[in-house]
Amino acid sequence: MLNKLYDWVDERLDITPIWRDIADHEVPEHVNPAHHFSAFVYCFGGLTFFITVIQILSGMFLTMYYVPDIENAWQSVYYLQNEVAFGEIVRGMHHWGASLVVVMIFLHTLRVFFTGSYKKPRELNWVVGVMLFGVILGLSFTGYLLPWDMKALFATKVGIEIAASVPLIGGMIKVLLAGDSTILGAQTLTRFFAIHVFFLPAALLGLLAAHFIMIRRQGISGPL
């Protein structure tokens, strides 16, 4: 059945060359765990992407129930976790995945640095990777406030004050994140929700596309 569907689509769109270009490429021997035990360090990038996909899918589910206003945000999270079927599992995946993806991208960045994979001709890909790291951290920071409990409120307040201490642009960053009010309120929650759900994911997808295109063109970097 799937073969017939593939043939039907391929006959109309000629997708086989595209699929072969993506999937059929040599994997260097030094990233094969069967030949080199240290090859597992080359898995950090793929694991980061895998967890990112889980974060996107679970986040899409959470937005079906989350209400981004200060009157109903906490109640909507409580309802999702305690009343919705499998809601606690999905929220748990998103919660722990948010921490795990930061750990994995950090390990991936360390691997790239210590194996010298940021050097010519991969300098631009290193820049894109660092930007991806920043976007992931931004997603973690903006998502922390969304449950709208006391822990999230005070932690976010500290984070905004740290951002406000940046020379020259600190005040603008604070207004961007918190709004015009001097206290965290409805504007803050709405802005964090918009940044977390729309702006940063758009940047994430664009940077991931650029990252993968460059990896495909340049290939996997060699060993240390």
CATH of the domain at 95: 1.20.810.10
Amino acid identity at 187 = Q
Asked if the structure places residue 101 within a domain, the reply is yes
- From CA 13, how far away is CA 126, in angstroms rounded? 34
188 confidence band (pLDDT: 50, 70, 90): very high
- For the whole model, what pTM was predicted? 0.90
Residue 43 CA neighbour count, 13 Å, CB half: 9
User: Could you tell me if 49 and 105 are in contact, meaning their C-beta atoms sit under 8 angstroms apart?
Assistant: no
Note down the domain range covering 124: 28-148+204-218
Asked if the structure places residue 173 within a domain, the reply is no
Q: Determine if the peptide bond prior to 121 is cis (ω within 30°).
A: yes
97-123 confidence digits (pLDDT tens): 999 999 999 999 999 999 899 998 999
Asked if the structure places residue 110 within a domain, the reply is yes
Asked if the structure places residue 53 within a domain, the reply is yes
Structure confidence at residue 34 (pLDDT): 63
Structure confidence at residue 85 (pLDDT): 94
DSSP 8-state class, residue 220: S
Asked if the structure places residue 142 within a domain, the reply is yes
Percentage of the chain exceeding pLDDT 70: 95
Asked if the structure places residue 168 within a domain, the reply is no
Cα angle vertex 218, ends 216, 220, to 5°? 80
Contacts of 27 (CB under 8 A, 6+ apart): 220
CA distances from 147 to 73, 74, 113, 169, 190 (A): 6, 5, 36, 28, 12
Helix, strand, coil percentages, rounded to 5, for the chain:
75, 0, 25
DSSP 8-state class, residue 196: I
Structure confidence at residue 1 (pLDDT): 81
191 confidence band (pLDDT: 50, 70, 90): very high
Asked if the structure places residue 92 within a domain, the reply is yes
**How many domains in the chain?**
1
The structure tokens listed for 49 are 């992407």
Using the predicted structure, report yes or no on whether residue 15 has a pLDDT greater than 90. Answer: no
Q: Is 143 helix (H, G, I), strand (E, B) or coil?
A: helix
* 116-131 average pLDDT score: 94
Asked if the structure places residue 194 within a domain, the reply is no
22-80 confidence digits (pLDDT tens): 777 777 777 776 666 667 888 899 999 999 999 999 999 999 999 999 999 999 999 99
